[in-house]
Structure 1
Amino acid sequence: MAIDLNGVKLEKWKNDPNVSVEISKRIENALWQESHFESLIGSGQDRALRTISMQGIFSAVTPRLKAPLQGDGVRGNADFDTNYDQLEIYSLTMHPSNFANSLKSKTKLEQAMHQVNFIKESVDSLQGWLKQAIDRAIAVTLCNDFTNAVVCDSAKGYKDTTKQATIEDSTKTIAHDDTLNVQAIKRAIFMAKRGLGYDGKERFPIKPVAISRKSNEGILTRIYQYIILVDTVGAEQLKNDPEWIELQKIDKRGLDNNLFTGFLGVIDNCPVVDVGTWSALSTGLLHSGVEDSAFKQYLNILNLNNGKITPPSFYTGNQKTGIGVLMGASSILCAGRPKPDVYIDDKQDAGRKIVVGIDRNISIAKARWISYENPNSPFHNTDFATIGIFYSHKE
């Protein structure tokens, strides 16, 4: 979808600095409106992709994540000081990445001959490029270094991973017919609610995401759910699961879930959304057909607590593997300035050509429990609100 530049007087950009400001605002709105993740984004801590607005150029930001109190408290006539609880504040330092690109025109005479509005066309193309770059950065960040996961199994729905030393030990056992199914997704939802890890050990329960919607009567309501993201291959596998077919006979398509592009249906009241499959020409979720170099290109290593990089090949054995994701509240943190910067320069090549550029200063990180006071905590360095769902990526 082309960015709407109606009413913007592009021809006056040189004499009116507000032209570039208005272009930047419209690009920012279009970035999120056209993003695969648009319906998950918001500034509140109850959004799946939580945005943090920064003013000016920033070098780093450290958002806080607070753990629930775990103490027993006191009863009856007992004094407070007989059993103080412990306040645990977890933090994550986020460093910005700089996404930038530019285009140079042909000579102004050639532009006039071909009736090309170079500034308008460049802004539109650069906005599309930036949207794809940010969507890819979100996807790789979401899928890097899972600390909790469900692995699909053709016989039982999901594999018993409680005896496995690592997640990758489990995912590398995926066989051809271990496709995405309802039971595996239900397991991920149960683990999120119950607070369980792939190894059977306790984790903090994951808070669901707040989703606002307007009913037919115009009343704004808020519902709380986990969001299940799958790629197009996984979506087709899911549609062939007999249990899925039965579940969707009673779903509320168009009512509770009409905010989602790619909405497939619901499992245990949680919407399942097809966000596309990563390819050379499109964004989406990852699979082991994605090259390691393409994965690393969009990952900000400064935002990884221990520098661990796990492209899809890291989780893959003999069978091509796909990755779905359960997202809860504050699963991904996105800090940045309110809008990108747009540059227009008509002094190139002795004034014969124009350069249009775009620059976006942004930091994208997966929320992790990082405790500097108690690094021996079982919750230290674990995903805050994300569970991976691994399946055979047979098409």
Structure 2
Amino acid sequence: MGDWLYLVIAIAVLAVALVVGLVVGRARRTPSAPPAPAPGLRTPPPPPAPTAAPTAAPTTEAPAEIPVEAEAPAAPAEPPAPALERPDGTASRLVRLRQRLAGSQSGLGRGLLALLSRDRLDEDTWESIEDTLLTADVGVAPTQELVEKLRTRLRVEGGEDARAVLREELLTLVDAGMDRRLQVSGAEGRPGVVLVVGVNGSGKTTTVGKVSRILVAEDRTVVLGAADTFRAAAVEQLATWGERVGVDVVRGAEGTDPASVAFEAVKEGLDTGADTVIVDTAGRLQNKAGLMDELGKVKRVIEKQAPVTEVLLVLDATTGQNGLIQARVFSEVVDVTGIVLTKLDGSAKGGIVVQVQRELGVPVKLVGLGEGADDLAPFDPGAFVDALLG
């Protein structure tokens, strides 16, 4: 009995062991299901298996460097230098002189010819002729002189063409025999030095630029001196004129002593072998003593290196008697050798040419005909008189 009991217990234990072994083995062969993803999330697909690449043999050498030239960005292309302007020559300027003057001054000539062509030249007619000349700024003394000559030739001599007589007498009045050449050449290898004076607003700085264009058109080398240092705008304006025709401009800081700038300009002209140096000056007219001191100093400093060959006084032709007052002041301060009349094309008062020449005893050498860069021409008495007569 006892043996059978032990046998039954042993068989039961063996059966339980077999069942447990079968369950564990099956669990190992069956893969477990993946856990459910959390709500709102997507499980990304597994990445593809990497493709086996041939393994390179390890090396201890540093990788080759890229040349610096290859890495540097290409330099930006420099903008082309602006083409220098080629100013008009003297011939074309004289043609323009005749055209402009004929348009603005012919009223004076037509008025005189209409009066002189009357059948009877009585006192009222001669008085009208005087009024016409005075209105054109010819001046009292030149007007009386012209009227007396016309009276003699047309009333006493008679039989002459009024237009031919008037032309001849006007040429005498303008003094066609005056030397109107610009003195822009120096001696002994030194440049000619042109000092340009005049009140601010008369067109002085613009005239300096235009004169430089005339000289460049004649194949002369030029240096400009921006000695109007009290006006920054004048210095910048002159620099612009220089850039347009390839002319060097010597300048200083605002407020620099004008004489020092003039000195450096002449020095550069000497060093570079320039033909001409043109010096722009300040045009302040607060008092004559101050103006005299400043311009006198500029001229003295310049002449330590080279003599001043020309002093040009710039006058606005439209200012009439005010222009004459300015002319007197400057002629007392510096030795004016020539006159530049600006804005002559816009004024019917061409008689200022006669009056200012009589006042100063120096010739009008240049006339301004407009705002264009080449609208400055040598004064030609014949062209001027012909333009007056239309």
TM normalised by structure 2 equals 0.28
**More strand per residue: 1 or 2?**
1
**More helix per residue: 1 or 2?**
2
TM normalised by structure 1 equals 0.28
- Identify which of structures 1 and 2 has the higher relative contact order when contacts are C-alpha pairs closer than 8 Å and 6+ apart: 1
- Structure number, greater radius of gyration: 2
